[in-house]
Amino acid sequence: MKSAESVRQVVRQAQALGVKIVSGYDASTPTTQGQNAREIVALQRSGLPALEALRAATSRAAELLGLSEHVGALEKGRYADLIAVAGDPLTDITEVQRVRFVMKGGGIVRDELTPSARSGKPEESPAQPPEASPSR
């Protein structure tokens, strides 16, 4: 097993050579599924700046897989899979291990950030303009 310092050295060398580093968490058992954030944290602890560690799991991974026009960025027409955390992962990369909001395919599947979602009560919607009635 490599020491932490030798891993940091490899990361530094890869960066210096312009190697595109991507996250590729390989869950070897069902109990380790969904632990991708561990690799992002490990990349940062190995010397990758936090922003680059985040890119390794998002836009850079999409680029490597040839999927950049479909995933890896928040833009109209792309798949809307995203997470949100309460803190700043650029300051504390371990925030990615404390996911508070998940959107999958454009639908919210977890929401611990919106007050109404936490209380179980529906949030009041802003007034909507009346629908236009068809011309006769």
Cα distance between residue 12 and residue 135, in whole Å: 67
Please compute Rg for the chain using Cα positions: 20
- For 114, the 3-state DSSP assignment is coil
In order along its 136 residues, the chain shows pLDDT tens digits of 567 788 889 888 998 999 999 987 777 788 877 788 988 999 999 999 999 999 998 888 888 889 888 887 788 878 778 899 999 999 999 999 999 999 988 889 999 988 876 666 554 444 444 344 444 3
**Cβ partners under 8 Å of residue 109, min gap 6:** 102, 103
Q: What is the largest CA-CA distance in the chain?
A: 78
pTM: 0.74
